Amino acid sequence: MKKLYTESRNHKGKVHFRLSYDDDRRIFYATWIGYQQMDDIKRGATKIINFLKQDPGKYISFINDLTDMKKMWANANDKLGGFFVPKIAEQGVKYQAEIKTDEQLLSSANNHFPLINAGNTEVNIFKDEEDALMWLISKNELIVV
């Protein structure tokens, strides 16, 4: 069962980042909401890394849900991807599923499947959470609950 770990609010008091987890499936979720500044993305990434450092190796799969994000930062992957993916891999994450809308997929330069294989972390893109979960379950490391 998915449980909320933390959420962040912007200067207007609206939630713009949510971090949840599911201990049974060894999976955690980042949900990005609304407009994101680069500093917001950095803070969210730091929260994820700090969450994983509490119990390294516990969570092997990550769903990064971008479907409620209003603006995609084209250079966010360039600036953070090379730092972020290796950091979560150090904490035991093996699989990352990104969820994007059709519009986000079309506007993204990274709209091919699978996206990357960064060291020990395999990253793939999906249109919905159900497909992302099915892919993660197919990796035979998640328990079907």
Predicted confidence at residue 97, as pLDDT, reads: 93
What is the extent of the structural domain holding 44? Answer: 3-138
Lowest mean pLDDT segment, chosen from 8-22, 52-66, 129-143: 129-143
Contacts of 131 (CB under 8 A, 6+ apart): none
Residue 34 belongs to domain with CATH number: 3.30.750.24
- Cα 24–chain centre separation: 18
Calculate the average pLDDT of the chain: 83
- Give the pLDDT confidence score for residue 123 in this predicted structure: 85
Do residues 31 and 63 lie in contact, with contact meaning Cβ atoms separated by under 8 Å? no
Asked whether residue 9 is domain-assigned, the answer is yes
Q: Enter the pTM of the model.
A: 0.84
Q: In the prediction, which pLDDT does 103 show?
A: 84
Residue 122: CB atoms within 10 Å: 19
Look at residue 111 in the predicted model and tell me its pLDDT.
44
Q: Is residue 90 part of a domain?
A: yes
Q: Residue 144: inside a domain, yes or no?
A: no
> Which phi and psi angles does 55 have, rounded to 5°?
-155, 75
Tell me, yes or no, whether 127 lies in a domain: yes
Asked if residue 114 has a cis previous peptide bond (ω within 30° of 0), the answer is yes
Residue 64 in domain:
yes
Number of compact structural domains in the chain: 1
Residue 68 lies in a domain: yes
Predicted confidence (pLDDT) per residue in 45-76, tens digit = 999 999 999 999 999 999 999 999 987 555 55
